[in-house]
Amino acid sequence: MADIEKNVEAGAAQDGEKKKLNYEVEIKEVSSCERHIKVTIPEEEIKRYKDDQYAEFGKTAQVPGFRAGKAPRKLVEKKFKKDVEERVKSNLLLDSLTLINDSDDFTPISEPDVNFDALVLSDSGPFIYEYDIEIRPNFELPVWKGLHFKTVVREFTDEDVDKALVSIQERNVSLVDSDEPAKSGDYITAELTFKDGDNVLSKSENEVIRIRPVLTFNDSSINDFDVLMEGAKPGDTISTKVKIAVNTLNPFYAGKEVDAIFNIKKVQKAELPEFNDEFLQKLGGFDNMADLRDAVKDTLTRQHEYEQQRGIRSQITSSLLANANWDLPVKLLQKQANRELRRTIYELQRNGFDEQQIRSHLNAIQQNSLNTTAQALKEHFILEKIAEVEEIQETPEDYDREILLIAAQSGSSPRRVRAQLEKEGEMDILRNQIIEQKVIDLIRGAAEIEEVPYEKSDIKDEEALDLAISPLPEEEKKEESSEEKAE
């Protein structure tokens, strides 16, 4: 892609009583979503900013032999030169970045990558700095009104509720050690080792795994896992080949076949709890089975409504993304992948999915991480632009509702959920989720919806582990390390 250069000079217009910064900016297009920015601030502007700062310092400067605020300018300059220059550099940077970001040249989706400490403010000549920034690509909005979609309708039966009740029992089992060979439905405790030749990629000491037809990881799956583990006993070593997913974050191992080694330490049988008064109270203070069955049916309905929304969203975005052929750099996708996972977690929590169901969803996303993140980013760009055109905004009530739903499913208080979101800087993820859902509702309201009956699908039961076979890319390791230090 050829570079596009653009020179801009901000005028010296008055902004209230504050004079607007004069500067020159050169914008080079690196890709659809990346720009390289070079900013040049002339010497006269630096002098103006310095004069303003020395005037501020001069009002309260404590200089021996003079009353506060009465010291000569030369003495103030000598005493506070370093402090003034640091403040001027900071103000020039902040003011110019604000003007650039507020312009119509592009819509940033990340913070400017500027190394403040490396910037130099010389005694003469202009102040020049450069940075890279990720932006929303430029595009024409596709037609979004009057589309045609299909949605699956379903009524839940007593049989569906019975099956969900068994799942509740299975999530609350008591495990009993057994000398009998393992079979489907049993649990094993195993040391897992993943190797590429003699190179150990990852290892986990004591994974408790329920034996099901499919075992999934962050970046791979083992089909017929129940067949593989049939007859396993403590002390056995069971090996198999496993292929790492093609679209995971680490391109070096993508699509590679490696060895998975299970050293079996323990086999355990599951004892299901009875639905007695004590268990009903533990599940949420239910007085009787009828109340529990009603609650389970409500949860199944909420989950189906989520699947309906996801199905319609998929059809909507397929229509909207038909011509979205923008280049999305791998570095951008790697950076956004974790945000997409966090957004998915909040969506699933608010819609009543349990921890194992959420982990299964996340593993499916991570195994196709690059494609999933690219799809999500493109969706976000288009839905956000529709929101701007239609003037759709979030409200405090929207946040309260989303936090309440997340808290209800996660077993935390709304106050604790909000505090955690704010602490981790993830309120903007919630904001994006709110805005995107409002736009989806808007498109859905202007569309023709055809209802189709639900058909049962033959989906194999799976066990999902929060474990990656291949090591993280070096950049992501550094990001995780910095996040841990911040915590």
DSSP 132-175: EEEEEPP-PPPP-SS-EEEEEE----HHHHHHHHHHHHHTTPEE
Residue type, 418: R
Give me the phi and psi of 133, to 5 degrees please: -145, 145
**pLDDT beyond 60 at 1:** no
In the three-class reduction of DSSP (H, G, I as helix; E, B as strand; rest coil), residue 352 is classed as coil
Alpha-carbon Rg of the chain, whole angstroms?
29
Segment 439-471, tens digit of pLDDT: 999 999 999 999 999 888 777 789 999 999 988
- Which pLDDT score is estimated for 480? 47
- Which pLDDT score is estimated for 479? 45
Mean pLDDT across the stretch 276-300? 93
**pLDDT beyond 90 at 209:** yes
**How far is it, in rounded angstroms, from Cα 184 to Cα 239?**
18
- Which pLDDT score is estimated for 62? 63
Could you write out the DSSP letters of every residue in 377-398? HHHHHHHHHHHHHTT----HHH
CA atoms within 13 A on the CB side of 286: 17
**pLDDT beyond 50 at 476:** no
- The number of residues making up the chain comes to 487
- The larger pLDDT score, comparing residue 376 to residue 190, is at 190
Mean pLDDT across the stretch 313-340? 84
Segment 58-105, tens digit of pLDDT: 666 666 666 666 666 677 667 777 888 888 899 999 999 999 988 878
The DSSP code for 113 is B
Q: Which of 12-21, 235-244, 465-474 has the lowest mean pLDDT?
A: 12-21
Highest mean pLDDT, choosing among 129-133, 247-251, 261-265: 261-265
**pLDDT beyond 60 at 164:** yes
**pLDDT beyond 60 at 194:** yes
Residue 136, both tokens = 């929303």
β-partners of residue 424 are none
**How far is it, in rounded angstroms, from Cα 239 to Cα 253?**
19
**How far is it, in rounded angstroms, from Cα 436 to Cα 434?**
6
What sign does the dihedral 129-130-134-136 (CA atoms) show?
A: positive
In terms of Cβ atoms closer than 10 Å to its own Cβ (0-12, 13-18, 19+), residue 469 is buried
Segment 266-284, tens digit of pLDDT: 999 999 999 999 999 999 8
Among residues 161, 159, 401, 154, which one has the least CA distance to residue 291? 161
Spell out the long-range contacts of 96-103 with Cβ–Cβ below 8 A and sequence spacing 24 or more. Answer: 96/21, 96/23, 96/25, 96/39, 96/41, 99/10, 99/20, 99/21, 99/23, 100/25, 100/37, 100/39, 103/8
- Which pLDDT score is estimated for 160? 94
Mean pLDDT across the stretch 170-193? 95
**pLDDT beyond 90 at 182:** yes
Residue 227, both tokens = 């067949």
Among residues 318, 446, 328, 427, which one has the least CA distance to residue 379? 318
**pLDDT beyond 70 at 109:** yes
Mean pLDDT across the stretch 283-298? 93
Give me the phi and psi of 85, to 5 degrees please: -65, -40
- Provide the mean pLDDT of the chain: 86
Mean pLDDT across the stretch 121-135? 89
Segment 312-325, tens digit of pLDDT: 888 988 888 888 88
Highest mean pLDDT, choosing among 3-7, 20-24, 102-106, 107-111: 20-24
Mean pLDDT across the stretch 303-308? 91
Kindly list the distances between the CA atom of residue 167 and the CA atoms of 164, 195, 200, 410, 463, in Å, as whole numbers in the listed order. Answer: 5, 34, 35, 17, 13
- Which pLDDT score is estimated for 68? 64
Mean pLDDT across the stretch 334-358? 86
The answer to whether residues 22 and 45 touch, using CB atoms and an 8 Å cutoff, is yes
Show Cβ contacts of residue 359 under 8 Å, excluding neighbours closer than 6 positions: 464, 465, 466
Residue type, 389: V
Segment 15-65, tens digit of pLDDT: 445 688 999 999 999 888 889 999 999 999 999 998 888 777 766 666 666
- Which pLDDT score is estimated for 38? 93
**How far is it, in rounded angstroms, from Cα 218 to Cα 207?**
15
- Which pLDDT score is estimated for 18? 66
Neighbours of 459 (CB within 10 A): 8
Angle between helical axes of 330-350 and 427-445 (0-180°, round to 10): 80
